[in-house]
Amino acid sequence: MTTLPHHPSRPPVSEPFGRLPDGTEVRRWWLENGGTRLAVLSHGGIVQSLETPDRDGRRANVSLGFRGLDDYLGSRAYFGALVGRYGNRIAHGWFDLDGTRHFLSVASGEHTLHGGALGFDRRNWTVHGFARGTDVGLVLTLTSPHGDMGFPGTLDVRVVYTLTEGGDWRIDYRAVTDRPTVVNLTSHVYWNLAGESAGSVDGHELSIAASRTTPVGTGLIPTGRLAPVAGTPFDFRTARAIGPGLSADDPQLRHAGGYDHNWVLDKGVTPTPEPAATLYEPVSGRMLRIATTEPGVQFYSGNFLDGTSTGSGGRPYRRGDGLCLETQHFPDSPHQPEFPGTVLRPGETYRSTTVHSFTTL
């Protein structure tokens, strides 16, 4: 295994990317450090591209995304987005907290998905660049008012994207509230380590440090049960190719049209990031290692990509052309008292960190 070649860091720079319908300017920020190059939009905190070398030193974009702002505004695929207030699903568009029922925006049939119709992926974040020591990065801030998409409390959010000297991409999430609420932030990057326009990710080899999943029922809502992965297509404790499992005759795969499930990480919630998942693409030799403080990771195999979205490389995205590994608390936790809690109260600080490390083999 080799680390990425060292390249000197460059201070973040930004440029106009377009305007929202209300006239708000969207800017694109460029970061480069340790062989990794990142393009981030102020709109949605979107990672438009992430470039990293293969084993021969040839750099390519390994994240799915669009060329222009209008494509992002017209899509509900969450390409590269910073997701909140609550990543993943909350059943039936409501939750009870301290004796009060809160009704939420519904964006997935009868359920709330990724914070509602105007979640954080649809907001223009305030962004500032920084260069600190050997690191470069961006500070993204957003204030979500009380009642936003039905969620209680004014939530002040601060997310830091850092590129380290070694080429790691680190995300630090922080939030505070003035009333009790629920919070679950994540990143919705679609990965294809062969390159953004390379096609199917079936040949990627995945490992997830998890002995259990949270099975789902109608609407991909967890049943509340924790199911062992042993002897099922969900067993990624040892690295294996993704494709064979997708063809298995399994009721959970039929529910989702592929993988779209939460894995219960054996490590649980941790104060510092610990290994969660590894993704390897054998042709390019690129490897992505993910460490997180979160207790779960949602592996989504791009089941709803249908060829109607044309990516930045000019190729339509079809089913399975990218995959997501979203670090998170579990879906529908507000309705599942046995799951790790997602309630945030005044005086507390929500904190979460995920680190993406790139190497070659």
Least Cα distance to 292 among 260, 321, 265, 319 occurs for 265
* pLDDT computed for residue 5 by the predictor: 43
Catalytic residue among 102, 204, 326, 329: 326
Local structure of residue 198 (DSSP, 8 states): S
* pLDDT computed for residue 9 by the predictor: 63
Tell me how far CA of residue 147 lies from CA of 156, 293, 353, in angstroms. Answer: 13, 28, 26
Contact 121, 85 (CB under 8 A): no
Phi and psi dihedrals of 177, rounded to 5? -135, 160
Question: For residue 353, is pLDDT > 90?
Answer: yes
Q: Rounded to whole angstroms, how far apart are CA atoms 285 and 98?
A: 51
Chain-centre distance of CA 70, in angstroms?
Answer: 21
Tell me the mean pLDDT in the region 13-34: 97
Least Cα distance to 232 among 257, 220, 215 occurs for 215
* pLDDT computed for residue 108 by the predictor: 63
Structure tokens at 154: 């004014």
* pLDDT computed for residue 11 by the predictor: 82
* pLDDT computed for residue 173 by the predictor: 99
At 157-214, the pLDDT tens digits run 999 999 999 999 999 999 999 999 999 999 999 999 999 999 999 999 999 999 999 9
Residue 114 annotated among the catalytic residues of the structure = no
* pLDDT computed for residue 104 by the predictor: 98
Residue 6 annotated among the catalytic residues of the structure = no
Least Cα distance to 333 among 53, 89, 31, 77 occurs for 89
At 245-261, the pLDDT tens digits run 999 999 999 989 999 99
- The model's confidence at residue 109, banded by pLDDT at 50, 70 and 90, is confident
Ordered by where they begin, the domains of the chain are: 2-360 (2.70.98.10)
- The model's confidence at residue 358, banded by pLDDT at 50, 70 and 90, is very high
Q: Which residues contact 219 (CB under 8 A, 6 or more apart)?
A: 89, 91, 108, 109, 110, 111
Catalytic residue among 111, 188, 204, 329: 188
Least Cα distance to 46 among 79, 11, 12 occurs for 79
Q: Which residues of 89-111 are buried (b: 16+ CB within 10 A; e: fewer)?
A: bbbbbbbebeeeebebbbbbeeb
Which residues sit opposite 67 in a β-bridge?
none
